[in-house]
Amino acid sequence: MGYTIAQKIIKNHLLSGEMKVGTDIGLKIDQTLTQDATGTMAYLEFEAIGVPRVKTEKSVAYIDHNTLQTGFENADDHRFIQTVAKKHGIWFSRPGNGICHQVHLERFGIPGKTLIGSDSHTPTGGGIGMLAMGAGGLDVAVAMGGGAYYITMPQMVRVNLTGKLSAWVSAKDVILEVLRIMSVKGGVGKIIEYAGEGVKTLSVPERATITNMGAELGATTSIFPSDEVTREFLKAQGREEVWTELKSDDDAVYDEEINIDLSKLAPMAACPHSPDNVKTIEEIGPQKIDQVCIGSCTNSSYLDLMRVAAILKGKTVHPGVSLSIAPGSKQVYNMLALNGALGDLIGAGARILECACGPCIGMGQSPNSAGISLRTFNRNFLGRSGTKDGQIYLVSPETAAASALTGVFTDPRTLGAPVEITLPEKFLINDNMVVEPIEESKMDEVEVLRGPNIKPFPKTSPLDASIDASCSLKVGDNITTDHIMPAGAKILPLRSNIPAISQHCFTVCDPEFPRRALELGKSVIVGGSNYGQGSSREHAALAPLYLGVKAVLVKSFARIHRANLINAGILPLTFTNADDYDRIDQGDELALENIREKVEKGEPIVVRNVTKGIEIPVDCDLTERTRDIILAGGLLDYTRESNK
Ligand code: MIC
Ligand code: SF4
């Protein structure tokens, strides 16, 4: 039996386990990336593990999220990351160099290699045939120290692409179609591989848009073959030598197949407040809009912005619309500046932002009250834009630019003759904003600078013999990590300060939660299905840990968040019968008797609802390794123990 592309990479990197779906496998990690919002924690954890020098082939620390610098906190964090990176062998991409995923694809990614990043959109690297996965900071820290990265061996989904995109229809519309078909939980436990004749019609930046937003499917990752198109892209980046061909075997077996005829797709939008709430622009109709934001790691490539510039050239943004544009990298920005396209954007009235995440993570550009904002981003979760009642629609750059000109939802196909943009034969290559680490022999010369906002990792303790705690919060389905640990300009600067950031935990759902949880001392959170979807931020586990949450009991979990809970030593439980969700109310007293022994022996677990006098069977699917992590009180303690 042949292998799929992902299976080939997994096979080459397998450190433990077997490639049997649903079982735990440990992978050797070749490259890591961090960004600043999750990076400070990841490096504090790396320091705590105590390995002097990273053991990966390449580790890069990016600064792209917290660049507003409304106080000293962000700048202090940047210095911390810069110095800690220099000391321990990590390359440092300075603020201004661009969004981690865009820059990594351009300058560092290599087909066939494994990459984990402390950011859920790391699968962008799948656009050049990397096995690239989002992970919690602690998992990245362990991988930097040479440890394996553990995942559950995923199922393989093949998306067959046939035909060719029609004029004005974009790669963004392809992933919106996949989201429409599969939903935000349809990818959990799966790797999505793109195949078929349609693949070669898509350039690398287009493929990267698709694998990037595959994160919204809940998938482990998404991947394209590495072919002649990939070679051309790498050659244009001056890196042809890292290219290798990668394709699936003819007799590879997939668990699921989806067929998409590219020529049949139309411009679409993900409507508020979920990336899978997809409609065509035609169905939405010519509704008035207030804002357009172009950028983010999904759609900020040279190709995307050149198309936008061609649409806007010589025109003026509608007076009722504010248009902002953030290029994805310094390379893109600089090329637009040199070829005149930047002038076209400025001339049309676009508000040019620095190349960083910016409005995607609520760092500025919040829309007006109840404002309709069209964004080329990947997430439109409630409140993420910074305006609680903001109505965020996720669209392609073409739809965004066309609508910015008319002031209403506009199908770009009404613009007439298509713009023909091709990738340059040579990109502008200038890595002057990437700082090399110091040689190992000189590492003692580097002083790691820590600002007063940087507080240590919260205290963990081994799993208690029994847990008696009340339900401090009950929430519904599809809770995102933006609900659990909101971001935005006010809260992001506290990413290195768990006690302070914890005060914002779950405040989107219930402003009283942090105070109540702290008062209770110990508690349990109850939730619905796909709990913890979205970002990889381990703060969504560390803040509950700090607030005394001992267990989270839900109908089902999203992959990265479940791993983060385990890493933080919080017990992840699921209802054996989903209907039992209705048998616990917020405030109920719960008891998990002899839980330590039961976890240790793998015995059935029952939650006793003391208030209602009933017993509820629950599952806690742990492998030998995750069981030991939970017993130890989290991955940090477990790793320190194992390194002794
Ligand atoms: C996001 O898009 O939500 C983020 C901000 O990039 C996160 C990481 C974070 O919360 O820092 C992600 O996607 O992992
Ligand atoms: Fe940054 Fe947005 Fe991409 Fe997250 S999704 S990495 S915030 S651009």
Q: Would you say how long the chain is, in residues?
A: 644
The phi and psi torsions of 634 (rounded to 5 degrees) equal 125, 170
Residue 445 alpha carbon to ligand 2 centre in Å: 34
Residue 362 alpha carbon to ligand 2 centre in Å: 10
Q: Is 537 in the pocket of ligand 1 (CB under 6 A)?
A: yes
CB-based contact 505:484 (threshold 8 Å) = yes
Residue 197 alpha carbon to ligand 1 centre in Å: 33
Q: Is 119 in the pocket of ligand 1 (CB under 6 A)?
A: yes
CB-based contact 152:138 (threshold 8 Å) = no
Q: Supply the pLDDT for residue 183.
A: 98
CA distance 511 to 303: 43
Is the model more confident about 460 or about 642?
460
Residue 65 alpha carbon to ligand 2 centre in Å: 7
Pocket of ligand 1, candidates 298, 357, 361: which has the most ligand atoms within 8 Å of its Cβ, to mutate?
A: 361
Taking the complete model, does pTM exceed 0.95, yes or no?
yes
One-letter amino acid at 599 equals V
Q: Is 188 in the pocket of ligand 2 (CB under 6 A)?
A: no
- Please determine, for residue 643, whether its predicted confidence score (pLDDT) is greater than 80: no
Residue 296 alpha carbon to ligand 2 centre in Å: 6
Q: Supply the pLDDT for residue 622.
A: 96
Q: Residue with the nearest Cα to atom 3 of ligand 1?
A: 535
CB-based contact 630:463 (threshold 8 Å) = yes
**Quick one: average pLDDT of 337-341?**
98
Rg of the chain over Cα atoms, rounded to whole angstroms, equals 24
- The pLDDT tens digits of the residues spanning 470-501 come to 999 999 999 999 999 999 999 999 999 999 99
Residue 322 alpha carbon to ligand 2 centre in Å: 21
Hey, which residues are catalytic here? 64-65, 119, 379, 535, 537
Q: Tell me the DSSP string of 210-234.
A: HHHHGGGGTBSEEE--B-HHHHHHH
DSSP-derived letter for residue 610 is T
Q: Which atom of ligand 1 is nearest to the CA of 360?
A: 2
Q: Is 33 in the pocket of ligand 2 (CB under 6 A)?
A: no
CA distance 509 to 505: 9
Residue 241 alpha carbon to ligand 1 centre in Å: 32
Bin 396: left if φ > 0, else alpha if -120 < ψ < 50, else beta: beta
Q: Supply the pLDDT for residue 457.
A: 85
Mean pLDDT score of the chain: 97
- Please determine, for residue 639, whether its predicted confidence score (pLDDT) is greater than 90: no
Q: Is 296 in the pocket of ligand 2 (CB under 6 A)?
A: yes
Pocket of ligand 1, candidates 66, 104, 116, 121: which has the most ligand atoms within 8 Å of its Cβ, to mutate?
A: 121
**Residue 161 tokens, joined:** 């692409």
> Which ligand lies nearest the alpha carbon of 39?
1
Q: Is 294 in the pocket of ligand 2 (CB under 6 A)?
A: no
- Beta bridge partners, 577, equal none
**Range 107-134 burial, b when 16+ CB lie within 10 A, else e:** bbbbbbbbbbbbbbbbbbbbbbbbbbbb
Q: Is 119 in the pocket of ligand 2 (CB under 6 A)?
A: yes
Q: Is 99 in the pocket of ligand 2 (CB under 6 A)?
A: yes
Confidence of residue 375 (pLDDT cuts 50, 70, 90): very high
> Which ligand lies nearest the alpha carbon of 103?
2
**Quick one: average pLDDT of 334-342?**
98
Q: Is 199 in the pocket of ligand 1 (CB under 6 A)?
A: no
Q: Supply the pLDDT for residue 116.
A: 98
Q: Supply the pLDDT for residue 616.
A: 98
Q: Is 122 in the pocket of ligand 1 (CB under 6 A)?
A: no
Q: Supply the pLDDT for residue 642.
A: 78
Q: Tell me the DSSP string of 101-139.
A: HHHHHHHT--TT-EEEESSTTGGGGGGGT-EEEE--HHH
Q: Which atom of ligand 1 is nearest to the CA of 560?
A: 14
Q: Supply the pLDDT for residue 459.
A: 84
Q: Is 269 in the pocket of ligand 2 (CB under 6 A)?
A: no
CA distance 396 to 13: 35
**Quick one: average pLDDT of 182-205?**
98
Q: Residue with the nearest Cα to atom 1 of ligand 2?
A: 357
Residue 24 alpha carbon to ligand 1 centre in Å: 25
Confidence of residue 246 (pLDDT cuts 50, 70, 90): very high
- The pLDDT tens digits of the residues spanning 523-568 come to 999 999 999 999 999 999 999 999 999 999 999 999 999 999 999 9
Q: Supply the pLDDT for residue 9.
A: 99
Q: Supply the pLDDT for residue 273.
A: 97
> Which ligand lies nearest the alpha carbon of 116?
1
- Please determine, for residue 644, whether its predicted confidence score (pLDDT) is greater than 80: no
Pocket of ligand 1, candidates 38, 104, 211, 217: which has the most ligand atoms within 8 Å of its Cβ, to mutate?
A: 38
Q: Is 36 in the pocket of ligand 1 (CB under 6 A)?
A: no
- The pLDDT tens digits of the residues spanning 388-421 come to 999 999 999 999 999 999 999 999 999 999 999 9
Distances from the Cα of 568 to the Cαs of 5, 138, 542, 548, 594, in angstroms? Answer: 32, 9, 6, 11, 20
Q: Is 635 in the pocket of ligand 1 (CB under 6 A)?
A: no
Residue 612 alpha carbon to ligand 1 centre in Å: 39
> Which ligand lies nearest the alpha carbon of 533?
1
**Quick one: average pLDDT of 3-9?**
98
Q: Supply the pLDDT for residue 262.
A: 98
